[in-house]
């Protein structure tokens, strides 16, 4: 499959990208839109003199959300595994 060429605009700059599918293109466009919305919120709520500071704040927010979700998923996975082990022990005790 041929690569698709996509231009996304982030913080007023255009970035040409190559993507593998229309789904990937949609994901890139949505991500750029989310970044631009967050930039606008930061600029509204904080006295930020430099775009780099705003971009760093955006990067931190998105990265921390991913890490928090990863930690939460890991805890849920451990809990599920413990419950499965407990069920297996109950089944083994009945046999």
49 vs 66 pLDDT, higher one: 66
* Phi–psi pair at 47, nearest 5 degrees: -85, 90
pLDDT of the residue at 66: 95
The CA–CA distances, whole Å, from 94 to 39, 88, 90 equal 59, 10, 6
Q: What does pLDDT average to over the chain? A: 93
Tell me how crowded residue 9 is: count the other CB atoms within 10 A of its CB: 13
Domain positions in the chain: 4-94
DSSP string, 47-61: ----HHHHHHHHHHH
pLDDT of the residue at 1: 64
Q: To 10 degrees, the CA torsion angle through 34, 38, 41, 46?
A: -170
């Amino acid at each position: 499959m041929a690569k698709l060429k996509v231009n996304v605009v982030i913080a007023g700059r255009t970035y040409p990208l190559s993507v593998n599918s229309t789904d990937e293109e949609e994901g890139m466009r949505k991500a750029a839109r989310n970044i631009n919305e967050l930039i606008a919120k930061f600029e509204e709520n904080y006295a930020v003199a430099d775009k780099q500071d705003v971009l760093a704040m955006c990067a931190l927010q998105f990265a921390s959300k991913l890490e928090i979700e990863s930690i939460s998923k890991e805890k849920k996975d451990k809990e599920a595994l413990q419950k499965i082990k407990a069920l297996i022990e109950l089944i083994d005790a009945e046999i």
